[in-house]
Structure 1
Amino acid sequence: MRCWQGCPGMAGRRPMIWTAAAPGKLILLGEYAVLEGAPALVGAVARRARVSVVDVDGGFRLRSALIGNEEIEFEFDSDGKLRFLSQLPPSGEAKLQLFRVCVEECRAAVLAFGNSMKPLRISLDTEAFFLEDTRQKLGLGSSAALTVSLIAALMARFGLLDARVPDKSLLLERAMSAHRKAQSNTGSGVDVAASVYGGVFQYQLNGKAGKPGIATHPFHLPPDLLTVAVWSGKSASTPKLVGMVNRLKDANPEEYNGMMTRMRELSRTGIGAIRNSDTPLFLKTVSEYFDAMADLGEAAGAPIISPPHREISAICRESGVQYKPSGAGGGDLGILFSREPERIRAAVQTLEKAGFPAFDLQIGTHGIQIQAVKKEQ
């Protein structure tokens, strides 16, 4: 493997600051069924997790709003395990579990490549994934975006990834491994793929040891399909909701399989409609997928279509707009879909009066971006 700039041998030059920024995601179609091999339609959004890495003298340091933006020190023990030397705030260890896993995995890769990981100052920024006033998490895949950004910055710094033309398949593999390890192997990985690749694309698990298969040709949403994201008013726990659905799978596999078959076919129909620029069929499929998510939640005893999502849906239907949650449901964000700008505007106006703020998240933004700039002395 070629050693890109940032590898050992840079002595005498100004140190570099390595930065990486990865987008969040919205799932347009295919929730839950994607875990059973169905295709899902996902779009990257213009909210980014940002990581910067720079060499320092002394020890390793971390700064993040997750722990109050206080700079803390850490080191590695003889087994390669990361250990924090500074006192962490309450719940700090849990909040930094993802960081720990990512850095440990990258350090192991650096050592395997024959390099050593020298002291760094690492800064993490996921502020774009929270509501500014209440600090609630929006549900845009912040942990996946942070995973991709952190691993990309570290791999680029130590010569395992070309910052100019990054090997995205390699980055996806590394990031998927770390994200699954940190999250106890739950989830489909669709959010990790969105953070790496960006754009709008079909995502499907291929069933081979859980490795993802990504459509080689990204989709373009039809020009007459309008989308707006809306906040349900509360954050949701995806692992909790998925766990409740998994209990239905164990208790009543026949009912569960029937629901997955229905959702799989709807997802295929909707993605086919996007491929053929058949917006009316896609809008019809969105409505049917909302109903399928509601039925799944009722059968599993899970609040997938929670009262806020039902209220938002009712307002949208009165305005002639289609709506569904994006992701596991329960809370977080949903998406309005329509072909008619005036209907979208009317729905948004009514929703905001009801306390459900709307966001233009620019679905289809670029994937991971990596830069290396010389640090000012």
Structure 2
Amino acid sequence: MRPDSYVATAPGKVVLGGEYAVLHGAPAIAASVNSRARVSAESIAGDYNELCMPGFIDGVWRFTAKSDGTLVWLDSPPDAGAFALFESVLQSVGGMADAGIRLTLDTRAFIDNASGCKLGLGSSAALSVALTAFLTRQRGPALLPAALAAHKAFQGGAGSGVDIACAVTGGTIAYLCDKAAVEMLDWPEGLQVALLWSGKPAGTTAKINQLNAGLRNSAKRASLATLCAEARALLACWRTGNAAELLVQFDVYSRALYDFDRDQALGIFSAGHADVYAAARECGLVYKPCGAGGGDIGAVMSMDSTALKVFAERVRQHGYIALDTTLGEPGVQLDGLTH
């Protein structure tokens, strides 16, 4: 089957609990979102291929692929490492068998139209999963090992893989990094979550490196241990399906994340997150940064959807914007693939 006959898409994600802790043996909870990376192809004349990446960089770049998966660029990339994710995935899956193909890797759904900034919903992981699915024609749980390997190669081994797992499975998941184990979770009846975008990017890798350096000091490990314990308690509470009790546990977890941030000086609650956290507590709501923090996305939670809408308007003064996002979207899909 020619690759110009089907399309692969995969969702982004939001980490609802277990950030940082997931790298140290605790579970993370993540939900897929309705922003999707899309990989498609069309036939072109020539003995080479072309790459387009709308949402990341404008332009078309010609390349050929060797049998070992390495690429030869016929047009100079805009800068070193510009296409590192694409190259990592191709090398991980063994390259492309076809020539005369224009590949389009589209992540425009992850861009804020007004500012042109990425929203921080896991676009690189979603694209990595969609591209891996496109090239291997796999989907479902069988895709996870290949997608994890490809993205770890891109990140130099960093990261937990929760974003990859969520893009593969969709829905809401619990994820254990050391086993790459995924547990599908039911959404608790009555739990309402609104995502707020800070308007600022976050740097995950730098924060992880800073944390690892800080943990060489044994005095810094207590706050991490507490965070891990609360992440486990959060998952246990989620499994009960009791939304009221879960909100209480989310509040406890968010406080542990706040204390962890102060202890490790990571800036998780910077970029306005601390102000929104305080405002939420004044309103009887639960708020936490999602993922690395220090920008990107936060989640405000309640059982009252009207209260969330009112709060979203209030925090505009902090530069935060409510996203029109739905959670629990389907995982990776291959549309048009007949076998």
Question: Does residue 175 of structure 1 match 2:140?
Answer: no
| Match 2:72 to one of 83, 99, 117 | 83
Q: TM-score, normalization: structure 2? A: 0.93
Structure 1 range deviating more: 232-241 or 67-76: 67-76
The CA distance in 1 between the partners of 2:57 and 2:209, in whole Å, is 31
Question: Kindly tell me: are residues 359 and 133 of structure 1, through their superposed partners in 2, closer, same or farther at Cα, counting changes over 3 Å?
Answer: same
Q: Quick check: 1:233–1:308 contact (8 Å CA) kept in 2?
A: no
Question: Kindly tell me: are residues 66 and 129 of structure 1, through their superposed partners in 2, closer, same or farther at Cα, counting changes over 3 Å?
Answer: closer
Q: Quick check: 1:51–1:149 contact (8 Å CA) kept in 2?
A: yes
Question: Kindly tell me: are residues 79 and 355 of structure 1, through their superposed partners in 2, closer, same or farther at Cα, counting changes over 3 Å?
Answer: closer
Give SS of 2:39's match.
strand
Give SS of 1:244's match.
helix
Question: Does residue 300 of structure 1 match 2:264?
Answer: yes
The CA distance in 2 between the partners of 1:371 and 1:155, in whole Å, is 14
Aligned to 2:212: 246
**Cα distance, 1:55 vs structure 2:** 4.2
Question: Kindly tell me: are residues 373 and 55 of structure 1, through their superposed partners in 2, closer, same or farther at Cα, counting changes over 3 Å?
Answer: farther
Q: Quick check: 1:176–1:189 contact (8 Å CA) kept in 2?
A: yes
Question: Does residue 224 of structure 1 match 2:181?
Answer: no
**Cα distance, 1:310 vs structure 2:** 0.7
Matches within 5 A, 1:1-377: 6=1, 16-58=4-46, 59-65=48-54, 68-77=57-66, 80-89=69-78, 91=79, 93-108=80-95, 116-156=97-137, 161=138, 166=139, 168-205=140-177, 207=178, 211-215=179-183, 218-250=184-216, 252-256=217-221, 258-372=222-336
Cα deviation per residue 1:213-251 (whole Å; 9 max; x = unaligned)? 112xx212212110000011210100011111111112x
**1:226 is matched by which residue type in structure 2?**
Q
The CA distance in 2 between the partners of 1:203 and 1:78, in whole Å, is 34
Q: Quick check: 2:7–2:335 contact (8 Å CA) kept in 1?
A: yes
Q: Quick check: 1:66–1:95 contact (8 Å CA) kept in 2?
A: no
**Count of aligned positions:** 337
The CA distance in 2 between the partners of 1:293 and 1:67, in whole Å, is 31
The CA distance in 1 between the partners of 2:114 and 2:305, in whole Å, is 29
Give SS of 1:70's match.
strand
Question: Kindly tell me: are residues 220 and 360 of structure 1, through their superposed partners in 2, closer, same or farther at Cα, counting changes over 3 Å?
Answer: farther
Q: Quick check: 1:199–1:367 contact (8 Å CA) kept in 2?
A: yes
User: Which consecutive segments of 4 or more residues in structure 1 shift more than 6 A?
Assistant: none
Q: TM-score, normalization: structure 1? A: 0.84
% identical aligned pairs: 33
Unpaired runs of 5+ in structure 1? 1-5, 8-14, 111-115
Unpaired runs of 5+ in structure 2? none
Structure 1 range deviating more: 26-35 or 129-138: 129-138
Question: Kindly tell me: are residues 81 and 307 of structure 1, through their superposed partners in 2, closer, same or farther at Cα, counting changes over 3 Å?
Answer: closer
Q: Quick check: 2:192–2:302 contact (8 Å CA) kept in 1?
A: yes
